[in-house]
Structure 1
Amino acid sequence: MMEIENTQECFVMLWRKLERTRRLFQMQCRRFCIRRVLKSWFGLAANDHMIWEVCSLCDQEGYSELPLPSLYPRKHRELLRAIVAVRLGISFYKQVNLKALDKAYSIAFPNSTPINVNKKGR
């Protein structure tokens, strides 16, 4: 069972695990979608209720193909945010550490453009 925490170290691990899972599914000719990712990571704990909660929080469909995490990080950012919120039972909107999540992306994918979703315009 995976240990999920609301820390930067855990987010780095989740970003890297997401990319490893994508590569594994690609080699196995399996669809890289939310439902399969959750089943792969959490086994029997990823029941229909958990999958529905994660999908509704991140506003994505369970069987929809996910793009590459390194090229299109926004959908994956929301997915990881929803997974952390559901597993820890915390608020998706207020309690997930978004600064740590965005910084972890830059660590996991050092050659990609950093995510700056919450950057305020001046």
Structure 2
Amino acid sequence: GDYVNIVLKDDTSKSFKAEIVNGAEIALGQKETLLVLKLNEMDADIAKLRKAEIEIRRNNYEGIKVPSEALHVLDGKKGVYVLIASQVKFREVNVIYSDDDYVLAEYDESNEKSIHLYDKIITQGKDLKDGKVYT
């Protein structure tokens, strides 16, 4: 009876809202299970599907994906160091989702201090400081 968003592994550009009708319990170590879903929409591609690998998305987040190792704390504020015109700059990050490998940072193009699209994020380095010239 729960509603979830599903994405086909072969085509992640489309998302479908589906109701879970029936599903097998996943045993420990099992990677596949049978899941019966009900969709309120239909097209030729969906009609062809009887067995498919899907990704179930419970929540959707939008932001900039940043490697976890790039995250630093400076003066109590989380952020990343980026390279702008051969100079290291600290950009503040508001984390909206985190995982072992990455964090998802809120994107606010009006905030000059926050991370922006196409910033060159520094993931490794020694003695990183805001304003330091990279040579």
Relative to the length of structure 2, the TM-score reads 0.26
| Bigger RCO (CA 8 Å, 6+ sep) | 1
Structure (1/2) with the larger strand percentage: 2
Structure (1/2) with the larger helix percentage: 1
